[in-house]
Amino acid sequence: MLEIAEINAFYGQSHVLHNVSLTIGDRERVAVLGRNGAGKSTLLKSIMNGGPRVAGNVLLDGNPLGTTPPSERVRLGLSLVPEDRRIFTHISVAENILLAQRGVGKRAEMPEMEVILNAFPTLRSLTSRRGGQLSGGQQQILAVARAMASRPRMILLDEPTEGLAPVLVESLAREVIAACEHFGIALLLAEQSVWFARKCTSRVLILDSGSLVFSGDWETFDASTKLVERYLTV
């Protein structure tokens, strides 16, 4: 489905990603782990053409995306939930979701509001509340629900557990897994929480200083006892 071939990413003269290559299959869920500054967010933004200057190829179904703008990548089925959520604080939860659906054009397969609320029950009693009136955890769940409401083929989820209470992290994990399975959506998750990443995905990548240093399933990760100490411990 998605292939990244030898991409390098730059902010000005700063070289952030170094020859990163990976593939993600249809409906596959993959985690990217790494310390702060490892390049996780830059990887997701590079896939969306959402900030850094990128050299190399990002391909969707074998077709290179080249300089395709972020808005068109969304219409092609990629959806990014950034670390700072970017929900609209002055409109309601329901309006946030409907606005996301309108932004990708008319798709017959886009779910009705009731289906979305079934997938994200935390939001059911909050549909008329403004985004700015939500707690941080509720805003994060809204950001994920809004991204999935447009029925993307893949969601790119950036550091969703940052600042959330443990009970909300557990709730978010359940709702992300259930929604991905129900809607048939692939997931690329950038995270620092190994617990959350393990819960939501079947395969894990590790970035260190912008380079891919590990790729494998969780069983292989667990067998490599020095990975956490070498690449993830602060």
CATH number of residue 11's parent domain: 3.40.50.300
Counting the structural domains of the chain, the total is 1
Over residues 85-102, the pLDDT tens digits come to: 788 889 999 999 988 887
Q: DSSP for 120-179?
A: -GGGGGGTTSBGGGS-HHHHHHHHHHHHHHT--SEEEEE-TTTT--HHHHHHHHHHHHHH
Report CA 95 to chain centroid distance, whole Å.
22
What pLDDT sits at residue 107?
Answer: 57
What pLDDT sits at residue 234?
Answer: 63
The tokens describing 47, both together, are 């896939």
In the beta sheet, which residues pair with residue 46?
Answer: none
Ranges of the chain with pLDDT below 50:
none
Please state at what angle helix 136-149 crosses helix 166-183, rounded to 10 degrees: 10
Residue 131 has phi, psi (to 5 degrees) of: -60, -35
pTM of the complete model = 0.91
CA 119, CA 180: separation in Å to the nearest integer? 9
What pLDDT sits at residue 90?
Answer: 92
Domain of residue 202 covers: 2-232
